[in-house]
């Protein structure tokens, strides 16, 4: 509550608005803030009774007091600043990188500990794992135990597979020679 007369406030507002004919809607609170007066202090008169015969010793009153929340304005300004957003994004990336590094180091530690506990078993397991990974990467399917035996390669499909393999190699070599000699196959 200010002690301004409404006519005086209107005069002040009119003189203030003469400086600019138009303004953005979002600028209105900033411009109005300059015209507002701080609220008058609240004075509470209370008499403390020291009379021992007074029966009413305790009294509770709820008083609502509106106070500007300075922390809220600081938080809003922090969240709205783009520099802070970039800093937060940078810190977030750094956190993700740190977590990835921790996970990688944890995996390395487990790898080394299992090697330290049983070196021979570890190497056997690791070789089998590498073999499976290689087959997965090259899309090779089959039974490794069966492929170790000679009977596997004496089956009827093996003869045709060998012929197709040599045919594709001959065709590949022929194309290389034609390209090298500049011969076109029409």
d(CA 35, CA 111) in angstroms, rounded, equals 70
Report pLDDT digits (tens) over 118-161. Answer: 999 999 998 988 888 887 777 766 677 787 888 888 888 888 88
Is pTM beyond 0.75? Reply is no
Res. 2 pLDDT band, cuts 50 70 90: very low
d(CA 174, CA 155) in angstroms, rounded, equals 30
d(CA 129, CA 116) in angstroms, rounded, equals 18
Q: Residue 4 pLDDT more than 60? A: no
Residue 36 has what pLDDT? 74
Residue 136 has what pLDDT? 78
What is the CA 141 to chain-centroid distance, rounded?
A: 39
**Structure token pair of residue 124:** 């056997």
CB 185 within 8 A of CB 178: yes
Within 10 Å of residue 122's Cβ, how many Cβ atoms? 16
Res. 1 pLDDT band, cuts 50 70 90: very low
d(CA 82, CA 179) in angstroms, rounded, equals 59
Res. 11 pLDDT band, cuts 50 70 90: low
Within 10 Å of residue 39's Cβ, how many Cβ atoms? 9
């Amino acid at each position: 509550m200010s002690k301004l007369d409404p006519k005086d406030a209107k005069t002040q507002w009119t003189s203030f608005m003469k400086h600019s004919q138009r303004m953005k809607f979002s600028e209105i609170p900033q411009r109005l803030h300059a015209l507002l007066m701080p609220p008058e202090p609240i004075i509470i008169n209370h008499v403390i009774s020291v009379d021992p015969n007074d029966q009413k010793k305790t009294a509770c009153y709820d008083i609502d007091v509106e106070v500007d929340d300075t922390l809220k304005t600081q938080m809003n300004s922090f969240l709205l600043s783009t520099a802070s957003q970039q800093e937060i994004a940078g810190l977030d990336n750094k956190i993700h990188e740190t977590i990835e590094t921790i996970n990688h180091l944890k995996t390395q530690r487990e790898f080394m500990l299992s090697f330290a506990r049983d070196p021979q078993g570890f190497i056997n397991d690791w070789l089998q794992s590498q073999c499976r990974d290689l087959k997965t990467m090259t899309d090779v399917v089959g039974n490794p135990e069966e492929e170790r035996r000679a009977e596997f390669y004496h089956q009827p499909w093996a003869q045709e597979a060998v012929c197709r393999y040599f045919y594709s190699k001959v065709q590949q070599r022929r194309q290389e020679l034609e390209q090298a000699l500049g011969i076109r196959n029409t």
